[in-house]
Chains A and B, each alone.
Chain A
Amino acid sequence: METFRNLLDPFPSQQSTFAANVDAIYYFIFWLSTFFFVVIVAMMCYFVVKYRRVEGQEPEKSPSHNTPLEVTWSVIPGILVLGIFWWGFTGYVDMRSPPAETYDINVTAQMWSWQFKYGTGAVDAELHVPVGTPVRLIMQSKDVIHSLFVPAFRVKQDVVPGRYSGLWFEAKEVGTFDLFCTEYCGQKHSDMITKVVVHATDEENVTEEVPQTFDQWLEVASDPLEGGRIPLEDAGKKVVGMFGCLQCHSIDGSKKVGPSFKGHFGQQVETRDGSVLMDENYIRESILEPNAKIRQGYDPKMPSFKGAMKDEWIDAVIAYIKSIQ
C-alpha cells in the first residue's frame, strides 16, 4: 500500500525553500482541474445514458443558445485562471529574486558534463552546496544549450552559450539529490546527470550519506593533492573525478566517446594526420588543446581545460593514467 501511494505521489521530496509553494500551486490547480474534469465527464456520461436515442422518437425542444449562461461559463473560468496566473507569477518572482547575500558558484556546462567552480579554486563534477544558505549559480555553456534542473529543488534554468544565466536556491536538508540536463544537447544528453550534495555547515549535523561539512569538503576539493600528503596517482584519480573525465573516457580499455585511458601509454597511436607517441606531452597537449591531434576513429568533441586544470593537477592526471596501464 505504501509503495502504491508512493507511485501516485506526483512529487519528489521538498528540498528547497521554493518547493512547498510550487507544490501548493500544483495541488491547487490539480484539485480545481479535477473538480471541473469530474463535472464534465459525469455530465457527459449522464447525458449519454439519460438522452440515449429511442427509435422513432424525436428529442424534445430545447434552446439552441443561452447568452447569460454562456457568458457565465466564460467569465468564471476567466476569473479562476487569473488567480492561477497571479499565484504562479508571484512564485516565479521569488525564484528570480536572489537575496543580497548569496554563496556564488560558477557553473560550466559542456557536452556532456557539468563543472562547478568555487571561489577557492575548487572544481568538481558534482554540485556541492551548504545547507540553509542561499546559493547562486552563475552558469555558462561551452558549446550548445543545456539546462540545469534539480527536481528536489523545483528549479530549472537553461544554460545558453554566449551569455551568463543565473539561478538561485536555498537547500533545506543535508542529502544527495539528482541534477539533470533538461535541454536536449546531442548524443549523450541523458548521461549528463550528476548529483547535488548538500553539506551540513557544522559537525553536529553531518550525516552518514554526507559525512563532511561544507568547509571540510571545500578544503579538500581546493587542493586535491592534499599538500602532497597522498600519492600523486591517487590525487590524479580525484582530479579525474572532479572534472568528470570518465563520462567520455573509460579506464578498462573500452571505447567511449573518447579513447580509453588504459592500454596505449608509451606506444605509437594512430591520429587523423599520422601517428603520435602517447607520452606525458601528448596527454598534456590533449587536455589543454584537445583538437591538436585527434585519435583515429574519434570525433573532435573534447573541450579544452586550459585555465581550469592547474599544472600540478595535470601532473597528477598523467600519474594516474600511467598507474592504470
Chain B
Amino acid sequence: MTSHVMPAHSDSHSSADNYLTASKGFLSWAMTLDHKRIGLMYLIGTMTAMFIGGFLALLLRAEHLSGTPGFVSHDTYNQLFTLHGAIMVFLFIIPSIPGALGNFILPVMLGAKDVAFPRMNLCSFYLWVFGAIFFVGALLTTGLDTGWTFYTPYSTNTSQTNVVLATLGAFILGFSSIFTGLNFIVTIHTMRPPGMTWFRMPLFLWSLYATAIIQVLATPVLGITLLLLAAERMFGLGIFDPKLGGDPVLYQHFFWFYSHPAVYIMILPGMGIISELISTFSRKAIFGYRFIAFSSMAIALLGFLVWGHHMFASGQSEMVTIIFSALTFSVSIPSAIKVFNWLATMYKGSIVLATPMCYALSFLFLFTIGGLTGLFLGALATDIHLHDTYFVVAHFHYVMMGGTLVAFVGGLFYWWPKMTGKMYNEFWGQISALIVFVAFNLTFFPQFVMGSRGMPRRYYNYLPEFQVYHVLSTIGAFLLGFGLLLAAIVLITSLFKGRKAPANPWGAATLEWQCSSPPPLANFEKTPTVGNPYDMQSVVWDPDTESFVRRGEVPIVPDESEQPAHA
C-alpha cells in the first residue's frame, strides 16, 4: 500500500468515518447536501414507488385471470393501468438509475467530493417528493383514468378524474429530472480528476452524460405540453380539443417529442451499468470502448428524431410516417453495437456468475428480445396491425423492465457493498436473479403472441380466445413479484446480518472501489490520479483483506499533455 491514491481499507477506519455515521438525526438526512445520502433517499423513494406500481400491476393481472368482470370495476381497472404506468414511468424508471445510483456513484467514480451543485441536488430530491405527493393525491382522491399518456381530448374534456393534479405532479417531476441532468453535465465537464480524459471516463458516466443531455433538452417540452393541457382543462383554452378549435394529434406530437427521448432516459443508464458489470465480472477491459461511448451519444441524438413512430395509425401524413419509420431503424444500430461489444467483452474473459453478472446476462437476453421486437413495430405494414395491442405492451416491458429494471437491480447488487458497507448473501441473490428471469419471460412472452393475434391493450374485458395467454401472464407476474421481493429481502437482510464489505469486492478498476466501503463523508482524502478504468489487471486479490487491491503503483500516470479537466 504505497500508493497515495489508495486510502486505507475500510477495516482500518473507525466506524465514525463513513458518510452514514458522520452525523445523526432526522435533519442530518433531510438537510444533507451529501450526494451519497441524497442517492440513498432517492433509492428508498424510487423503490417504494416501484413496489406500489408493481402492486397495482399485480391487481391488473389478477383481474385478467378471466375476460369478464372480476373483482374490480371498469373504472377501477382504468385507474389501475393508468396509475401503474404513470407511477412506474415518472416516479420510478426515469429517476431511479440517475437519481439513486447515479447520484451515489457518479461523484465517487470521478474521484470528486460531491456533484457540482449539491443544493440543487437536494432540491431535485424534494421536487421528486412533491411530485410524488401530487400523484398520491390523485390516487387517493379521484384516481386518474386517462392512461399515463394523458391523450386529448379525453383528458381535457371527458375524464371525470383529477387530471390537473396528476399533470402538475408530472410537471414538477420534470424539474426534478432536469436538475439532476444539469448537475451531472456540469459535474462531468468540470470535476473530472487529473488524468481522466473523456475517453478514460467509465462508460456508466458516458451513459449518464448522454441521459443528462436528453433530460435537459426534452423535459421542458413535456412541461409546456402539460401546462397547455391543464390550461385547456381548467380555462377552456383551445389547443388540443377540436370543439374549441384545437388539434388532438398536436398533443401527441408534443407528448412524444418528450416521451420518446424519455425512453432513452430510461434505458441509457441501464446500458451504462451493464457495460460496467460485464467488464468487471469478465475481468476484462470493455471491448470497443469508443464504439460504446459514441453509441450512447448517437442514441441520445437520434432519439430526438423518431417520436412520430408512436403515431403511425394516428392520421399524421403518410410522408411523415414513412420518414419516421426510416429514422426509427437508425436507432437500432447503436443498440446492436452495444450488444455485440458486450458479447465480445466476455470472449476470453474470466467470467464469474456473481449476482450482478446474473442480472447482466438476464439483461442481455431480455434486452435483445426487446430490441428485436422493435423491428416489427418500426416496419410500417406490421406496425399497423400490432399498434396498440399487447405486442407493444410486451415489447416495451422487455425493454423497460427486462432492460432498465433488471439493469437497475444488477447495478444495485453491484454497488450495494459500496453504498452500505455490507455483503449480501450471494446464493439467494443468484436465486432471485433466476426467478426474475424465468418469471419475466413467463409474464411477457405470451403477450407477444396474444398481441399478434389482435388482443388490444387497455382492455378490461376480453374475448375468451385470449384467456390462456392472460392466465400464463398472470402466473408469471406473481412469480416476478416474488422474485423482486426476494431480491429486496436479500439486500435488506444484509444490512443486519451481512459481513462487512471490503473496499473492492469485485475487482473493478474504476475509482469508486478505491475508497472504503461505505465511503467516508468526503469520498477521498486527496483527489486521486487515474488511469484506464478497465485495466482489471491493475487490481489483484488480497486474501488478507478479502478485497482486491491495487498492484503496486498506479499503472498509468498522466503525462504532461493530459491536463486535469478542471484545470
Hey, which bits of chain A sit against chain B, CB under 8 A?
7-8, 10-12, 18, 21-22, 25-26, 29-30, 32-33, 36-37, 40-41, 43-44, 47-48, 51-54, 57-60, 62-66, 69-70, 73-74, 77-78, 81-82, 84-85, 87-96, 111, 143-145, 147, 149, 151-152, 154-158, 160-163, 165, 178, 180-191, 193, 299
Residues of chain B lying within 8 A (CB to CB) of residue A30: 376
**Interchain CB contact under 8 A, A185 and B154:** yes
B74 touches A53 (CB 8 A): no
Q: Which residue of A lies closest to B452 (CB)?
A: A10
Residues from chain B with a CB closer than 8 A to the CB of A84 are 329, 375, 378-379
For A8, A11, A85, the residue with the greatest tally of chain B CB atoms inside 10 Å of its CB is A85
**Chain A proximity mask over B446-475: 1 for CB below 8 Å, otherwise 0:** 001100111011111111000010000000
Could you mark each residue 7-22 of chain B with 1 if its beta carbon is under 8 Å from any beta carbon of chain A, else 0? 0000000000000000
Q: Which residue of A lies closest to B251 (CB)?
A: A145
Across the interface, do B452 and A26 meet the contact criterion of CB distance under 8 Å? yes
- A160→B315 contact, CB < 8 A: yes
A9 to chain B, nearest CB (A): 8
Q: Is B141 an interface residue (CB 8 A)?
A: no
Question: Least Cβ distance of A88 to chain B in Å?
Answer: 3
Report yes or no: A92 in contact with B321, Cβ–Cβ below 8 A: yes
Contacts of A90 in B (CB 8 A): 381
Within 8 A of A (CB), among B106-121: none
Q: A85-B325, A160-B248 are in contact. Are A191 and B153 (CB under 8 A)?
A: no
Q: Is B365 an interface residue (CB 8 A)?
A: yes
Check B364–A40 contact: CB distance below 8 A: yes
Contact among A11, A48, A64, A147 for B453, CB-based, below 8 A:
A11
A144 touches B145 (CB 8 A): no
**Is A87 in contact with B339, judged by CB distance below 8 angstroms?**
no
Closest to B380 in A: A92
Binary contact track B115-157/A, C-beta < 8 Å → 1, others 0: 0000000000000000000000000000001010001011001
**A–B pairs, 6, beta carbons within 8 Å:** A33-B372, A52-B352, A59-B349, A84-B379, A85-B378, A88-B379
State the main secondary structure of chain B at its contact with A: helix
Contacts of B376 in A (CB 8 A): 26, 29-30
Q: Is A91 within 8 A of B381, CB to CB?
A: yes
B258 to chain A, nearest CB (A): 19
B325 touches A188 (CB 8 A): no
CB-based nearest B residue for A299: B160
Of the candidates A12, A18, A51, A52, the one whose C-beta lies within 8 Å of that of B347 is A51
- Check B207 for interface membership: any CB of A closer than 8 A: no
Q: Mark B46-58, 1 if CB is under 8 A from A, else 0.
A: 0000000000000
Residues of A within 8 A of B364 (CB): 40, 44
Is B290 located at the chain interface by the 8 A CB criterion?
A: yes
User: When the two chains form the complex, which single residue of B333, B340, B348, B457 contacts A51, counting CB atoms closer than 8 Å?
Assistant: B348
Asked whether A37 and B368 contact (CB < 8 A) given A51-B351, A145-B151, the answer is yes
CB-contact partner of A186 in B78, B337, B453, under 8 A: B78
| B341 contacts the other chain (CB 8 A) | yes
Min CB–CB distance A150 → chain B (angstroms): 8
Q: Are B318 and A93 in contact (CB under 8 A)?
A: yes
* Whole-angstrom distance between the Cβ of B450 and the nearest chain A Cβ: 9
Q: Shortest CB–CB separation between residue B283 and chain A, in angstroms?
A: 6
Question: Which single residue of chain B is at the shortest CB-CB distance from A153?
Answer: B385
Residues of B within 8 A of A48 (CB): 346, 351, 353, 361
In whole angstroms, how far apart are the Cα atoms of A191 and B158 in the complex? 18
* Chain B contacts for A21, CB-based, 8 A: 381
Q: Are B382 and A26 in contact (CB under 8 A)?
A: yes
The reply on B282 being an interface residue by CB < 8 A is yes
Asked if B291 is at the interface of the complex by the 8 Å CB criterion, the answer is yes
- Contact: B368 with A40, CB < 8 Å? yes
Interface membership of B388, Cβ < 8 A: yes
Q: Are A88 and B361 in contact (CB under 8 A)?
A: no
- How far apart are B276's CB and chain A's nearest CB, in angstroms? 15
A108 to chain B, nearest CB (A): 15
B373 at the interface (CB under 8 A from A): yes
- Asked whether B314 lies within 8 Å of A158 as measured between CB atoms, the reply is yes
Q: State whether the Cβ of B565 lies closer than 8 Å to any Cβ in chain A.
A: no
Given contacts A22-B382, A161-B153, A190-B460, contact A144 B158 (CB under 8 A): yes
Assuming the contacts A52-B352, A81-B375, A92-B321, asked whether A182 and B158 have C-beta atoms less than 8 A apart, the reply is no
Q: Which 5 A-B pairs have the closest CB atoms?
A: A162-B242, A151-B454, A91-B381, A88-B379, A92-B380
Are A65 and B346 in contact (CB-based, < 8 A)?
no
Given A26-B382, A92-B321, A44 contacting B153 (CB threshold 8 A): no
Residues of chain B within 8 A (CB-CB) of A43 are: 343
> Min CB distance, A65 to chain B, in Å?
5
Q: Given A59-B350, A65-B288, A78-B333, are A184 and B147 also a contact pair (CB < 8 Å)?
A: yes
B249 at the A/B interface (Cβ < 8 Å)? yes
Are B333 and A77 interface neighbours, CB within 8 A? yes
Residues of chain B with a CB closer than 8 A to A183's CB: 151, 388
CA distance A62 to B279 in the complex (A): 13
Q: Can you add 20 more A-B contacts, CB < 8 Å, to A21-B381, A33-B375, A92-B322? A: A7-B468, A25-B382, A30-B376, A47-B343, A48-B346, A53-B350, A64-B287, A64-B289, A65-B289, A74-B337, A78-B333, A85-B379, A144-B157, A149-B454, A158-B315, A162-B242, A165-B315, A178-B463, A184-B458, A190-B460
The interface residues of chain B lying within 8 Å CB-to-CB of A78 are 333
Is there contact, CB below 8 Å, between A53 and B287?
no
Are B453 and A151 in contact, CB atoms less than 8 angstroms apart? yes
B522 within 8 A of A: no
* Chain A residues whose C-beta falls within 8 Å of the C-beta of B350 in the assembled complex: 51-54, 57-59
Contact in complex: A73, B336 (CB < 8 Å): yes
CA distance A189 to B453 in the complex (A): 19
Contact of B248 among A26, A33, A157, A162 (CB under 8 A): A162
A91 to B340 Cα, complex, angstroms: 31
Residues of B within 8 A of A81 (CB): 329, 332-333, 375, 378
Q: Does B159 contact A (CB under 8 A)?
A: yes
Contact of B315 among A37, A54, A157 (CB under 8 A): A157
Q: A81-B375, A161-B153, A182-B389 are in contact. Are A91 and B352 (CB under 8 A)?
A: no
- In the complex formed, the residue of A with least CB distance to B334 is A74
A41–B351 Cα distance when bound, in Å, is 16
Q: Complex: how many Å from CA A189 to CA B461?
A: 9
**Docked-complex contact A92 and B384, CB < 8 angstroms:** yes
Interface residue B75 (Cβ < 8 Å from any Cβ of A): yes
In the complex, chain A residues whose CB is within 8 Å of the CB of B160: 299
Name the residue of chain A whose CB is nearest to the CB of B387: A156
Residues of B within 8 Å of A52, CB to CB, are: 350-353
Interface 1/0 per residue, B536-550 and A, CB below 8 Å: 010000000000000
Per the bound structure, the CA–CA distance linking A79 and B491 in Å amounts to 45
Question: Taking A10-B453, A29-B379 as contacts, is the C-beta distance between A85 and B346 under 8 angstroms?
Answer: no
Q: Kindly state whether residue B247 has any CB partner on chain A within 8 Å.
A: yes
B78 → chain A closest CB, angstroms:
7
For the complex, give the distance between the alpha carbons of A191 and B448 in Å.
22
Kindly state whether residue B35 has any CB partner on chain A within 8 Å: no
Residue from the list B326, B333, B459 in contact with A85, Cβ < 8 A: B326
Does B65 belong to the interface (CB within 8 Å)?
no
Among A65, A90, A94, the one with the most B-chain Cβ atoms within 10 Å of its Cβ is: A65
